Structure 1
Amino acid sequence: MHIYDGKGIFQVSKGKAKAVLTIYPTSSQIFSGESVTLRCNIQRGEVTDWEYTWRKDVVDTINRNHEYEISEVKISDNGDYRCLGKHIDQKKHSEWSDAVRLTVTALPETTLTVNPDPAYNGETVTLTCSVGSDSGWSFTWYKDQKKKVVTLSGKHTTTGATFTISRAAESDQGLYWCQGEIQSRSISSIISDPVTITVKSLPTASVKASPRGPLYSGETVTLQCDISDYRDWTYRWHRDNHLLPIPTSKTTTISLPDQAGQYQCEGTRTRRPERTYLSSSLTIVVAALPKATLTITPNPAYTGETVTLTCSVGSDSGWRYTWYKDNSKKVVTLSGRHTITVFTFTLKRAAESDQGLYWCQGEIQSRPISSIISDPVTITVKERPVAVLTLQPNWPQIFSGETVTLSCDIQGGEEIEYVFYNSGKSVYTKTEPEYRISPAKNGLYTCEGLQKRNGLKHSQTSNAIQLTVLDKPQAVLSVSPQWLNPGDSVTLSCGVKESSTGWRFFWYRTVPYTAGLLSLSDTSYSVELLSGNVTSEDSYTLIPAGPSHTGGYVCRAGRGDPVYDTLYSEPQFLWSGDLQPSVSLKIRPNRIQHFTSKSLSLSCEEKRNSTGWRLKRYREKAGESECGSNWGSIAGSTCTISSIRKKDSGVYWCESGSGEYSNAVNITVDVGTLILESPPYPITEGDSVTLSCTNRYQETNPNPKVDFYKDGVLIRNETTLEMTIPAVSKSDEGFYKCKSNEGESPESWVTVRGVTPGPSTSALVGVVVGLVVAGVLLAILLVLLCRYKKAGGPPSPRGPTWTPNRTKDLPRARLLMLGIHVCSMMLVLLLLDQVM
């Protein structure tokens, strides 16, 4: 028999050679991914050159090599394998080998366990890794990441399948993995699932003492050890870092001062966790007895105030206090005015009887401890000073926007703060006693003083001043008279309806509205100051008043520093019924009184080069307005009211863009049956005037009888509808009306002007007077001349009849000639003066 081992024949035997199949590695488990070699040996073969047939199950593969390698075996490689040898030249073959089973196992999973879990700080933690039952495995340990190998330190130990952590700490917490390896075969198991190591802190012990707070010599103190977690603890006590041989109970009692010191405790038990941390130190100190401190607020106090005595002994809340008065051992006698709380003694409605020395002393009632008695403190009670509140300026009415000053006068030399109140609410606090309110505000004001050093009340509350702030006032202007009588004075009177105190008055004349000038709020007019525009009196007089003074006037008042101004007054007007040189107001029908529902036309007829005429009217309570604004319609220079109503009664006039005024007409519109037709303009003395009484329903009474009245006195009885005054005089000026059994007309004023000579009339009168005087002088001259002739005339220097005896006639002649010359000169001068 020949046994072929691939290198030669060692033994020869007769018969067919036998193939023997061997699988390497020879382990009982072959894992997926390993390299597997199948080796075929031919027994009893006589030749060496073989080729091999490999059969897996029913599939054959031919290979000249007697080894068949599977580099990375898979589960699919599982099966029965056989081999057959065939000689290349002799065409001999061996017998098939026996079948050998190849079993491929998947890579094993790794199992990781932790004990204990959770762990406590300082304990030993063991991690155990297992991969089936095969003992050929070694293990690798990972932390925090799958491929991050644990960094070993002195407290880490690895032994076979275990990883040990001694004295576990928080830094050991985290995720852990493990993985097995067979180094001889380069096999690694599947990495384990992660496990978490949790390291918990040991329970904490704490020490507390009773009683709490400062401890004093002679006291007994109970110490207690508290452990919040778990039960079944045995307690151990330490003083000044030494274990005490005292019972292992939760509490222990010590005596002061001998056993003062630093105390700690800890707990132990038979189950996990087996111990606690050592507690923090509690220092037991023996304190010296404290001294009570007594304070009094306020001090000095004022009669009626509440006085509080406060006693303190450190910050301990366990103290109760005893109060003494006049003597350090004489306890205060309590009354209804006294209140005692934990550490205060309160005196209500302090009086002089409360004055004196006071002490206090603290006691801890649950412990035999008393403080050192306080130093004495003296309470002084005196009368509170009076506060007096005054208002400057002390006007009875204050208006919105005005500035006022409240002054608080408090007698006393202490440093105080002044507090001003409005309706009980503090609004101003300063060290100065004055409160300037700008602008003034409504309210009931009082003041009082506070002690600057402690903020306590110093004075009595002052008298109250009610400050009522009114809306900004409007000045009220009146013009008297409102109708101009040339040469007379006109008085402007200005006032503030709500107040008459402290005002100065400003006087203005209205001018056409111009942007940038002082103007009324409705921009109807601008205003310019009159000369002597500021007066302390409430009136302003135009002396004498003339046509140039017609127009609108405005006033306002101001007072205080800084000056507070009222609103401008409504404009008031000074009218003239006389025709003006620049323009005249013409009305159609040409009368003062008109029936309602009739048409009325008013026109501005210009007399010289003036432009921008507007027709305006003034009504009581409605003020001034312009035609076309909300009444009348404009066509050229004519304003027409198609159907007049009673409310259209008022004064009408024309006003130019430069501020000139026409004559004004006071028109009355009446709903009654009768109206009086009278001239709308003043009448000149000596002229004839006819007053007519017009009946709205004239056709129903063709022959009416009416009475005429002047100033309420009957002057014509049952006459016709007209009354004529052939030559009016100043005495005919007045109010006229007519009356019948059908009704009564309104009154109308008839104005009579005296004769005012014009320039031509004056010259004519002067010439006439001059001629008359000249005639008289001429007659005197002729008489003198005749007498001179009768006397023989002047002596002739050449006449023969001239004798010295005639020299007595010479002075008379000279005087005559002088008289003639004087008369002649006066006549010439008089004529020249009248002509000029």
Structure 2
Amino acid sequence: EPQSLLFTGDSVTLRCEVDQSWDGLEFIWSKNSNTESAEAATKTIDSLKVSDGGEYRCRARRGEYYTHYSEPVTVTILYKRPKVKVSIKPDQHVFRGETVTLRCDINGEAVTSWQYSWYKDGSVSVFSELQEHIFSPVTESVAGKYSCYGEERGGSRTSNISDAVTLTVSDFLKPTLTVKPQSSLFTGDSVTLRCEVDQSWDEWEFIWSKDSNTESTEAANKTIDSVKVSDGGEYRCRARRSGLYTNYSEPVTVTIYGKPKPKVSIKPDQHVFRGETVTLRCDIDGEAVTSWQYSWYKDGSVSVFSELQEHTVWFVRMSDAGKYSCYGEERGGSRTSNISDAVTLTVSGVSPPVSLIVSPSRTQHFTSVSLSLSCVNQSNSDRWRVRRYSDILGLIDCSSRWGSQTGSTCTTSSTITSDTAVYWCQSESGEISQPVNITVQLGVILESPVHPVTEGDTLTLRCLYQHSTPPNLRADFYKDGSLIQSQNTEMIISTVSKSHEGFYYCKQPERGESPKSWISVRSETSILKLLHNHCVFD
């Protein structure tokens, strides 16, 4: 078993069987009628050789009694041609000038000596009969496909022919040197230089040179953390294997600049009055950076409130006072600036002695009606002009694109929705009044006071419809998004307190909803302070 025709290296089992009712039997084996040997009923031969082939017979013995011989069985052992493998060292891909060794390995049992034959590119011509064939130095002409074959010295056995293995020979290489994130950096940044050659080649050493100075052997990646100005210069690299060197890469110049420090400026001044317009500007003198993304911080907070180089606060409030600083990041790059020194903006609570009077006296108005705005103070009113700002039309004066100004009064005969804007009075010297938000729309509006309401006063709000307001019309009043009254079209708060401050609007179920208006409440204490600042007492 398994069969009588086998190959070298296989295994075979011969079994001698008699009537199984007989006990105490010995088994006698004979091969090619040679001397008998007593063995077990089963005879196994592992890893067959050609010499194991022949005619096998068996018989059984018990005491002095022998059975007849069995019919002979012929076992034939055929020679199995061994596998052949070609290897190339140091690599199948080498470059001109290296030393290359081709080796032929044959796993042939019972063969003590082989004669080797080497072939190139399918040719029948043998160019070498050595197990190892050496090319030194390699030239481009030896590149090709190599295979080998073996014949037994002093015998007749042969191997199969090996699979072909390709040897590739390249001319001298020139590595590519790359820099990430970029070759122009600020002190404190990090940079990585990478020396790249054909990635199918192994066992490279990399040689680095800066400004043509002494070379140093390092990895393919050279990383410099927290660069200094002295790290700048011209870098080159090359690779080495088995004592042979590639060409140098093209040089790469790394330039290190000092990390810039932004400067914050505030116009018109670091000390302003409430209601004025203030512009914060961040200037960064960063060499080699063409575009910055700016980040503004206030009072040491990590939250960014603006990303513009210039940030404008149109109507300064007391809460805008504080310390401002800025920081820059390169757009499309990795370079960053230091953070600027903080600059303090101071806001005083006393505004210029002028008020904007709106007629009709409310912050919301219908379209197609007359609207008058006047600048009133105790001195010369003629030096004040009405101005406004909106997202649609920007900053414009009265009579520029709307209304007509007579003295300090601006009048428009027929309002339109684009008249929705912030309005204020401004003097020739740049002083401005407290601004007023005015909304113009069709449909429903909320009648609310233009100026802050004093604590303890009565506040009356009305929900008006543009065409008519029937006596039995119902309206819902909301404060900060919550419903506070659902009765008629008028809501009265008899004694105003600071808690009544907020955004108010009204809704008429069948006609629509008004815009929101901010109701500001001031205390009697703040009124006394204002009087003290503007009056002289005997």
Larger radius of gyration: 1
Higher relative contact order (CA 8 A, sep 6+): 2
Taking structure 1 as the reference length, what is the TM-score of the superposition?
0.30
Q: Hey, which of these two has a bigger chunk of helix by percent? A: 1
